[in-house]
Amino acid sequence: MNKVLVTGAARRVGRGIALWFARAGWDVAIHCRVLDADAQSAAQEIRNLGRKAVIVDGDLEDAAALGTIVPRAADALGGLDALINSAAIIEKGNVSDVTREQFERHHRINLWAPLVLSRDFAALEREGIIIHLSDALEKWSMSPDFAAYALSKHGLAHLMRLQSEAWAPRIRVNVIALGATLPAKGEEELFKKIAASNPSGRTSSVEEVCDTIRFFLDSHAVTGRIVSLEGAVSGGSSP
C-alpha cells in the first residue's frame, strides 16, 4: 500500500495529511477544487521528499467533475491503496431558518461527494482503506446554529458503517472525528478557551490526526470505527 488520494489536500489539515503520507513513503494525489498556488506548492513539497505527487482538481459540487477524481488519480499514480476524504464545508445556519440551499450544499460536499469517491475507489477492485474525516461533535448534541453541517456529519458516520459492512474484508472504512485541530487566523484565543474547557486541557493537532491514520493503516482488524480527537468535550449527550 503506497498510493493515496487526499481530498482538500492543498490547505490546512488535508495538506498536513498529504505531507505526512509522503514522509511515510507514499505517492500522493492532491485533490483541490481549483488548481492554485497552494496545491502546486504542496505537490512540490511532496516531490522534494522524493515521492510522486499529482494534482487532481475538481469541484465536489459538480457531478461531472466528481466522477473523474478517483479515476484520474488512479491513472496518474498507477492505482490507489487509500482514500482520505478530508474536504468539507461548514457554514452557519440555525435549525430555525436554515435554507434548502444551505442544506443541499452541505450534503453535496460533506456526504454525497465522500459517497461517490468511496464508491469509485471500491470499483478499482483492490484491497485498501478509506478514512473519512468528520467532526467529533457528531457524537454529541450539536449547536443548532450549524444545522446543515451537523446533519451532514451525522450522515457521514452512518455512511462509514454501511460501507464498512458492504465492502469488508477487501476495504476497511473508518472515521476520524476531529475536534478543534488547526486554528484559522484570529482564532488562537478561541482555541485556548476550548482547551481550557476540555477535561484533557488541550485541543488536538494535525500530528495526532496523522498518528490516528497510522493506527488505522496498521490495524487490519479495525473497520467500521470512529476515533474521536475532541479532547473529551464537555457537555452534550451521546446519541
pLDDT at position 15, please? Answer: 97
DSSP state for residue 201 in the 8-state scheme: S
pLDDT in tens, 48-106: 999 999 999 999 999 999 999 999 999 999 999 999 999 999 888 888 999 999 999 99
The 226-229 sheet, strands edge to edge: 53-57, 27-32, 3-6, 82-85, 128-135, 171-178, 226-229
Q: Per-residue pLDDT tens for 175-234?
A: 998 876 655 666 566 555 656 566 665 667 788 999 999 999 999 999 999 998 876 544
pLDDT at 239 over 60: no
pLDDT at position 206: 81
Q: What CATH superfamily classification does 3-226 receive?
A: NAD(P)-binding Rossmann-like Domain (3.40.50.720)
Look over the chain and give the mean of its residue pLDDT values, rounded to a whole number: 88
Q: Which helix (H) or strand (E) holds 190?
A: helix 188-197
CA atoms within 13 A on the CB side of 174: 24
pLDDT of the residue at 203: 63
- Confidence at residue 90, expressed as pLDDT on a 0 to 100 scale: 84
What's the pLDDT score for residue 126? 94
pLDDT band at 139 (very low <50, low <70, confident <90, very high): very low
Q: Which cell numbers in the block locate residue 15? A: 495538506
| Residue pLDDT, tens place only, 156-180 | 999 999 999 999 999 999 999 887 6
